[in-house]
């Protein structure tokens, strides 16, 4: 309302009603899983904000989360089940009813399960329900299941789990409040994004020093006190040089090493024999050390022993053995690990490495912190304070996505261990349910005797092999899984190898699959290497039969992504605001270092389309095909209420279910307890999360903290309350190496032996990333990387009307000096050429990038028409996908065999090994990215793209007045 002409006065309502109702749930705009408050008004979504009480985000919310409304109301949302009518890849569909879709799906699934369950390849993308999907695959009886971890960060997970029984991100976090020095390796704007931002802010305001190693200076690196623009894939070399410096100056925490690690354990020195490099073990299989007190071998796990760290000893049976510490120290004291030796590869001056080593030693040992908090160690000994070495570290994709990532990750953990800064005040801290045994005693399932028609597998498809006998291989060494995980090609592929599924299924290697069933994984676009080849493989037909090489493809997604076009049957999913979900302790929970927590999603709005939540559909399909865990004895569905029914009533083990909070019939048990039918109501009442705060005496040293270990065992986080001993020297790796040397019952085929021998070193090593080694680097002198922008997360957000204004296209960022040498200016079109393919991009010059590195934002480029975007959208015209030039296979070896473009230990996709050269485009070449693919026509049922969005008009002043403006 306005009064007055010459002095108009606006009357403002400064206290409008914000919402009729606030519904709590969990964000799903990325993998961070923040708690959100959804303000509902007049039946619509007024506003989404962070939940102040939530352990993850404590009230803040990032750009993605704040744009949730636009994902929810996207015109790219699928509306009804679709059945393919045209050729694959053309997106020609017929709309069908759910009954028909589910009948068809269960017919396909049922036929496979009756004959050979392995012919189902069930792979899910960035979903957060792996506790369900993995279990479902086991129930089905197929080992061919994994989620996206194999192409995301399995190197971090496996490297950490096998070394310290935990890792970064969901597994642990820096002690943001107390740390005085932080080293961050290869972290772009991804995982754990809001906690990292909040943490860095605290850290900087506390005056701590923050050092970021990253070839690219954006986001977090931009606010680092020191940015080290290291050459991609050489962080391991850098870290080992720091270790060299620390060892040389004896700046290591020997007490910590003796108490908490396996470095004092005796290692057999018997070259050429089957026991070489294994631990000396006693009659009960206990590892032994040399007790200097009694001057004889003793159980290395005993409290009170005084183990020798160096020296050579003879065991009772006359074998020579040395403490693992001696092997470790000897190796890294060698000049080949000196900063000078690392200078060339890393591009970092030796004096910088020496200085960083001196700085972290200074902080760790001269600036130690003490908390007056008594605690009890694993042996029951009381300590009156907690002593911390306030150096913390964090690492992610930049370490992970290299073919040397597993060892680099282990090297970082070794550095932390030597400093004594794991789970101590100011250091790195485990988040429950970690630490676990390194590795946990959970093996992958899928051996010949574990697979039978119509029979569930006895265990989960994924696990942690502790030696060759745990591999899933045939007698001749052929892989048993379609993705070749847990084979000699990638023995510790703990998260599977989703990036190899389509290639192997197409090549029928090791066998043909009948149905490829995928969820929320954009495999024909940004989730695959070799995009064009993947599209060909998805549509390739058998020359003789005319049938598709991959006979059936079933796909579930909420949006019209590029992958939808390749499905024979599309099961439309809901948005995250329309469903029940669970972020379970059985999967990847939301705990912090000081609390165990899990959370749920609840539907805040009803779907306005004929779509169903994938997890409920999966449970429905399981009942239809009679999976034992989903069917009652009379054949009826065990969880007729779908996913929420399952979440409450399913028990994985007695008393343990998807959710840990409010268990027991009365809802008063936490952690374990009988199912509680009101459990979800309790979660909703509590803001959709449950949190158990650890008492202060359990806050640190969880790996050796009596009270914490007892608690963790009581709620099933760990099998027993034993101390978790950090495995610097990894015996499982040595076992693989011994097999390659010709020992043991399960040995690799000849062609894989050298590789296993070389890369299964029981202690961290560094080697150059594979792709560069296989190529003439004069021809491909540059590295090419992608990063996830903070305001966008894969294709999850690229159709988002708000976020695409921030990132509607992506340039190729080039170091200014490098670009000038190529006579490239801002806006010029350039070819990025790899050994595999080439892609055209528009140059953007910058200072903050390693001179030998070019990079771009990940997954901004789109196929024309996908996501219901205008085919003229910048995402398809100037935006590009680096995936086009990345091969899923390494260049052929001498014998023609092509390994996956992966880490040799874990099978982690080596996205960042990519080598390229750049060439300026000729003037004649069109100003549009290439390669281009045919324009996708969105299914007819999708809404028209609006010419203008007026979100919020219903809440505007004119709407309130009713003048319709």
Partner 1 sequence: MTQIPQNTTGTKLGLVIDLDICVGCHACAVNCKEWNTSGHSAPLPDTDPFGENADGVWFNRVHTFECGDGADSRTVHFPRSCLHCEQPACVEVCPTGASYKRAEDGIVLVNEDICIGCKLCSWACPYGAREYDGDAGVMKKCTLCIDRIYNENIAEEERVPACVSTCPANARHFGDLGDPSSDVSRMVEDRGGYDLMPELHYEPVNKYLPPRPKSTGYEEDRPRRLTPIEPTNEVEEAGGLFRWLDKVLTR
Partner 2 sequence: MHPAYSVIIFTTFSGAGYGLLFLMGLFAAGQWIEPDRWFGFTGFFLAFTMVISGLLSSTFHLGHPERAWRALSQWKSSWLSREGVLAVAGFVPFGLFAIGWVIYESHDGAWRLYAMLTVLFAALTVYATSMIYATLRTIRAWFNRHTVRVYLAFALWTGSIWFNMITQLFDLHTPGIGMIVVITGVLALWLKRKYWMFLDTSPSWVPPESATGLGDLGSVRLLDAPNTQENYVQQEMGFKVARKHAEKLRRWAFFSYFLVPWCLAVGTVEAEPWLKIPAAILAVISVMAGTMVERWLFFAEAKHTVNLYYGATDS
Cβ proximity to partner 2, 115 vs 958, nearer residue: 958
Per-residue contact track with partner 1, 270 to 309, x per CB under 8 A?
A: ----------------------xx--------xxxxxx-x
Binding interface with partner 2 (CB under 8 A): 5-6, 8, 805-809, 844, 846, 848, 874
Residue 842, SS3?
A: strand
Q: How far is CA 124 from CA 133, 413, 516, in A?
A: 8, 29, 11
Q: What residues have CB less than 8 Å from 817, skipping those under 6 apart?
A: 851
Q: Which of 354, 383, 682, 757 binds partner 1 (CB under 8 A)?
A: 354
Candidates 416, 414, 467, 419; CA nearest to 444 is 467
Strand, coil or helix: 886: coil
Cα diameter, the chain: 105
Give the separation between CA 831 and CA 839, rounded to whole angstroms.
6
Select 678 or 805, whichever has its Cβ closest to partner 2. 805
The region of 64-72, 97-105, 417-425, 491-499 touching partner 1 under the rule CB under 8 A is: 64-72
881 binds partner 1 (CB under 8 A): no
Q: Which of 572, 564, 554, 565 is nearest to 614 (CA)?
A: 572
Q: At closest approach, how far in Å is the CB of 198 from partner 2?
A: 23
Binding-site partner at residue 201 among partner 2, partner 1, none, CB < 5 to 8 Å by type: partner 1
Q: For residue 552, give every residue at least 6 positions away whose Cβ sits within 8 Å of its Cβ, in sequence order, or none.
A: 108, 514, 515, 516, 568, 569
The answer to whether residue 957 forms part of the interface with partner 1 (CB under 8 A) is yes
Check binding of 320 to partner 1 (CB under 8 A).
Answer: no
- The partner in contact with residue 226, picked from partner 2, partner 1, none with C-beta cut-offs of 5 to 8 angstroms by kind, is partner 1
For partner 2, which is the closer residue by CB, 8 or 272? 8
Give the C-alpha distances (Å, rounded to integers) separating 375 from 419, 436, 519, 700, 841.
21, 20, 46, 9, 58
Tell me which of partner 1, partner 2, none is bound by residue 809, counting a contact when its beta carbon lies within the kind-specific cut-off of 5 to 8 angstroms.
partner 2
Contact pattern from residue 358 through residue 387 relative to partner 1, giving x for each residue in contact according to CB under 8 A and a dash for the rest: xx-xx-------------------------
Inter-axis angle of helices 235-248 and 324-333, to 10 degrees? 110
Among 540, 774, 801, 941, binds partner 1 (CB under 8 A): 801
Give min distance, CB of 835 to partner 1, in A: 31
CB of 938 to partner 1, least distance (A): 11
Residues 161-200 vs partner 1: string with x where CB under 8 A? Answer: ----------------------------x---xx--xx-x
Q: For 656, which DSSP code?
A: E
Taking the complex as a whole, the smallest distance from the CB of residue 527 to partner 2 amounts, in Å, to: 23
Residue with Cβ nearer partner 2 (670 or 844): 844
Can you say how many angstroms the Cα of residue 514 is from the centroid of all Cα atoms in its chain? 28
Using CB under 8 A, pick the residue from 1, 653, 745, 923 that binds partner 1.
1
d(Cα 741, Cα 847) in Å, to the nearest integer? 48
Least separation in angstroms between CB 432 and partner 2: 39
How far, in Å, are 424, 559, 690 from residue 56 at the CA level?
21, 27, 12
Distances (CA, A) of 688 to 585, 592, 603, 692: 14, 16, 11, 14
Q: How far apart are CA 657 and CA 710, in angstroms?
A: 20
Taking the complex as a whole, the smallest distance from the CB of residue 188 to partner 1 amounts, in Å, to 11
**Pair 557, 572: CB distance under 8 Å:** yes
Bridging pattern class, strands 44-50 and 35-41: antiparallel
Shortest reach from residue 727's CB to partner 1, in Å: 16
Q: Which contiguous run of DSSP H or E holds residue 957?
A: helix 957-961
Token output for 946: 């609006």
Q: How far apart are CA 147 and CA 462, in angstroms?
A: 10
Which range touches partner 1 (CB under 8 A), out of 13-21, 77-85, 368-376, 529-537? 13-21
- Shortest CB 205 distance to partner 1, Å: 7
Decide if residue 3 touches partner 1 (CB under 8 A): no
619-623-624-627 Cα dihedral, nearest 10 degrees: 110
Which residue of 190, 245, 620, 691 would you call a contact of partner 1, by CB under 8 A? 245
Chosen residue from 40, 96, 223, 684 binding partner 1 by CB under 8 A: 223
Residue appearing with tokens 């959970």: 442
Q: Compare residues 540 and 846 and give the one whose CB is closer to partner 2.
A: 846
Q: Tell me the two tokens of residue 292.
A: 């200097």
Q: Which is nearer to partner 1, 70 or 659 (CB)?
A: 70
Among 237, 394, 506, 804, binds partner 1 (CB under 8 A): 804
Taking alpha carbons only, the member of 944, 946, 945, 938 closest to residue 82 is 938
Least distance in Å: CB of 949 to partner 1? 4
**Contact between 67 and partner 1 per CB under 8 A:** yes
Q: 214 vs 450, which CB is nearer to partner 1?
A: 214
Cβ closest to partner 2, residue 129 vs residue 809: 809
Residues 503-532 that bind partner 1 (CB under 8 A): none
User: Which CB atom, from 156 or from 830, has the smaller least distance to partner 2?
Assistant: 830
Q: Which two tokens mark 913?
A: 């090994």
Q: H or E stretch including 105?
A: helix 98-115
743 contact, one of partner 1, partner 2, none, CB 5-8 Å limit per kind: none
Backbone phi and psi for residue 725, each to the nearest 5 degrees, phi listed first: -95, 125
Comparison of 618 and 803: residue with beta carbon closer to partner 1? 803
Q: Which CB sits closer to partner 1, 704 or 765?
A: 704
Binding of partner 1 by 868 (CB under 8 A): yes
Could you tell me which stretch among 5-13, 102-110, 138-146, 831-839 binds partner 1 (CB under 8 A)? 5-13
Within residues 933-952, the interface with partner 1 by CB under 8 A covers 945-952
Q: What is the SS3 assignment for 343?
A: helix
User: At CA 224, angle to CA 220 and CA 225, rounded to 5?
Assistant: 175
258 binds, among partner 1, partner 2, none (CB under 5 to 8 A by kind): partner 1
Site for partner 1 in 809-828 (CB under 8 A): 816-817
In sequence order, what E strands does 120-202 have?
A: 120-124, 145-146, 172-174, 181-185
Residues between 252 and 271 that touch partner 1 (CB under 8 A): 254-255, 258-259, 264
Q: How far is the CB of 152 from partner 1 (least distance, A)?
A: 21
Q: 442 vs 801, which CB is nearer to partner 2?
A: 801
- The b-or-e profile of 651-664 (16+ CB within 10 A means b, else e) is eeeebbbbbbbbbe
Whether 501 contacts 539, CB under 8 Å: no
In the complex with partner 2, the residue whose CB is nearer, 97 or 928, is: 928
Q: In the bound complex, what is the minimum distance in angstroms from residue 567's beta carbon to partner 1?
A: 22
Q: Rounded CA gap, 455 and 445, in Å?
A: 13
The answer to whether the CB of 477 falls within 8 A of the CB of 736 is no
Nearest distance, CB of residue 934 and partner 1, angstroms: 19
Any contact of residue 705 with partner 1 (CB under 8 A)? no
Of 153-161, 329-337, 653-661, 923-931: span binding partner 1 (CB under 8 A): 329-337
Q: Tell the residue number behind the tokens 């996206």, with chain if given.
A: 148
- List Cα–Cα distances, 29 to 32, 38, 67, in angstroms: 8, 14, 8
Cβ atoms of 421 and 428 within 8 Å: the answer is: yes
Window contacting partner 1 (CB under 8 A); options: 126-134, 152-160, 505-513, 864-872: 864-872
* Contact partner, 9, from partner 1, partner 2, none, Cβ < 5-8 Å per class: partner 1
Please list every residue from 618 through 677 that binds partner 1, using CB under 8 A: none
Q: Answer for the pair 903, 490: CB distance below 8 angstroms, yes or no.
A: yes
* Separation CA 885–CA 840 (nearest Å): 10
């Amino acid at each position: 309302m306005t009064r007055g002409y010459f002095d108009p006065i606006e009357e403002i309502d400064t206290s409008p009603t914000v919402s009729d109702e606030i519904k709590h749930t969990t964000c799903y705009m990325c993998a961070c899983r923040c708690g959100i408050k959804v303000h509902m008004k007049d039946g619509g979504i007024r506003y989404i904000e962070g939940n102040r009480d939530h352990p993850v985000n404590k009230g803040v919310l990032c750009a993605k989360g704040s744009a949730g409304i636009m994902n929810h109301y996207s015109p790219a949302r699928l509306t009804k089940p679709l059945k393919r009518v045209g050729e694959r890849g053309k997106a020609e569909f017929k709309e069908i009813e759910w009954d028909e879709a589910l009948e068809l799906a269960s017919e396909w699934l049922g036929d496979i399960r009756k004959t050979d369950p392995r012919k189902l390849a069930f792979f899910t993308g960035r979903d957060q329900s792996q506790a369900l999907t993995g279990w479902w695959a086991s129930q089905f009886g197929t080992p061919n299941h994994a989620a996206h971890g194999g192409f995301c960060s399995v190197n971090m997970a496996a490297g950490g789990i096998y070394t310290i029984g935990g890792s970064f991100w969901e597994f642990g976090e820096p002690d943001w409040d107390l740390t005085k020095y932080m080293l961050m390796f290869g972290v772009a704007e991804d995982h754990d994004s809001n906690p990292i931002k909040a943490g860095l802010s605290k850290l900087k305001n506390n005056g701590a020093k923050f050092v970021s190693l990253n070839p690219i200076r954006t986001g977090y690196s931009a606010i680092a006190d020191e940015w080290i623009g290291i050459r991609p894939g050489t962080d391991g070399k850098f870290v080992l040089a720091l270790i060299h410096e620390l060892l040389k100056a004896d700046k290591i925490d020997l007490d910590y090493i003796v108490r908490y690690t396996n470095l004092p354990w005796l290692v057999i020195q018997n070259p050429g024999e089957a026991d070489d490099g294994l631990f000396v073990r006693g009659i009960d299989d206990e590892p032994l050390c040399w007790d200097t007190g009694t001057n004889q071998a003793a159980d290395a796990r005993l409290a009170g022993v005084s183990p020798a760290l160096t020296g050579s000893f003879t065991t009772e049976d006359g074998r020579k053995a040395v403490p693992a510490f001696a092997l470790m120290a000897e190796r890294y004291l060698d000049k080949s690990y000196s900063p000078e030796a690392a200078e060339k590869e890393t591009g970092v001056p030796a004096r910088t490495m020496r200085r960083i080593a001196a700085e972290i030693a200074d902080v760790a040992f001269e600036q130690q912190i003490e908390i007056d908090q008594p605690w009890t160690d694993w042996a029951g000994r009381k300590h009156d304070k907690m002593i911390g070495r306030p150096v913390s570290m964090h690492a992610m994709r930049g370490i992970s996505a290299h073919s040397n990532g597993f060892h680099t990750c282990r090297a970082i953990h070794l550095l932390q261990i030597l400093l004594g800064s794991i789970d101590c005040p100011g250091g790195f801290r485990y988040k429950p349910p970690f630490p676990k045994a390194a590795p946990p005693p959970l093996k992958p399932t899928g051996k010949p005797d574990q697979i039978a028609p119509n029979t569930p597998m006895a265990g989960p498809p994924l696990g942690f092999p502790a030696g060759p006998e745990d591999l899933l291989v045939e007698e001749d060494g052929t892989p048993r899984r379609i993705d070749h995980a847990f084979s000699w090609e990638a023995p510790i592929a703990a998260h599977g190898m989703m990036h190899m599924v389509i290639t192997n299924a197409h090549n029928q290697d090791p066998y043909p699959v009948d149905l490829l069933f995928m969820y929320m994984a954009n495999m024909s676009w940004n989730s695959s290497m070799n995009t064009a080849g993947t599209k060909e493989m998805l549509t390739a037909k058998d020359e003789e039969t005319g049938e598709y090489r991959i006979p059936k493809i079933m796909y579930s997604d909420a949006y019209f992504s590029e992958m939808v076009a390749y499905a024979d049957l599309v099961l439309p999913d809901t948005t995250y605001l329309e469903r029940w979900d669970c972020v379970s302790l059985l999967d990847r929970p939301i705990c912090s270092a000081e609390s165990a927590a899990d959370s749920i999603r609840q539907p805040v709005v009803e779907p306005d389309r004929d779509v169903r939540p994938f997890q409920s559909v999966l449970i429905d399909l399981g009942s239809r095909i009679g999976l034992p865990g989903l069917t009652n004895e009379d054949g009826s569905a065990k969880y007729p209420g779908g996913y929420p029914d399952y979440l409450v009533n399913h028990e994985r083990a007695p008393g343990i279910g998807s959710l840990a909070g409010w268990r027991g019939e009365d809802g008063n048990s936490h952690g374990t307890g009988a199912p509680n039918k009101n459990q979800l109501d309790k979660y909703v009442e509590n803001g959709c999360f449950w949190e158990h705060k650890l008492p202060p005496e359990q806050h640190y040293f969880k790996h050796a903290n009596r009270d914490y270990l007892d608690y963790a065992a009581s709620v099933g986080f760990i099998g027993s309350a034993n101390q978790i001993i950090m495995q610097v020297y990894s015996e499982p790796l040595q076992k693989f190496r011994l097999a390659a040397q010709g020992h043991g019952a399960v040995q690799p085929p000849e062609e894989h032996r050298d590789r296993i021998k070389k890369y299964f070193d029981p202690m961290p090593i560094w080697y150059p990333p594979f792709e560069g080694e296989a190529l003439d680097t004069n021809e491909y002198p540059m590295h090419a990387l992608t990063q996830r922008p903070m305001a966008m997360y894969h294709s999850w957000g690229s159709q988002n009307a708000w976020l695409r204004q921030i990132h509607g296209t992506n340039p190729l960022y080039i170091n200014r000096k490098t670009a000038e040498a190529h006579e490239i200016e801002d806006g010029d079109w350039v070819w990025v050429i790899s050994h595999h393919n080439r892609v055209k991009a528009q140059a953007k010059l910058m200072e903050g990038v390693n001179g030998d590195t070019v990079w771009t934002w990940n997954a901004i480029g789109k196929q024309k028409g996908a996501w219901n975007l205008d085919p003229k959208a910048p995402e398809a015209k100037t935006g590009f996908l680096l995936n086009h030039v990345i091969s899923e296979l390494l260049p052929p070896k001498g014998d023609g065999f092509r390994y996956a473009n992966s880490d040799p230990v874990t099978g982690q996709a080596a996205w960042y090994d990519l080598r390229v050269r750049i060439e300026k485009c000729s003037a004649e070449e069109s100003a549009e990215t290439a390669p281009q693919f045919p324009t996708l026509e969105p299914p007819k049922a999708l809404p028209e793209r609006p010419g203008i969005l007026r979100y919020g008009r219903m809440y505007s002043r004119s709407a309130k007045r009713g003048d319709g403006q």
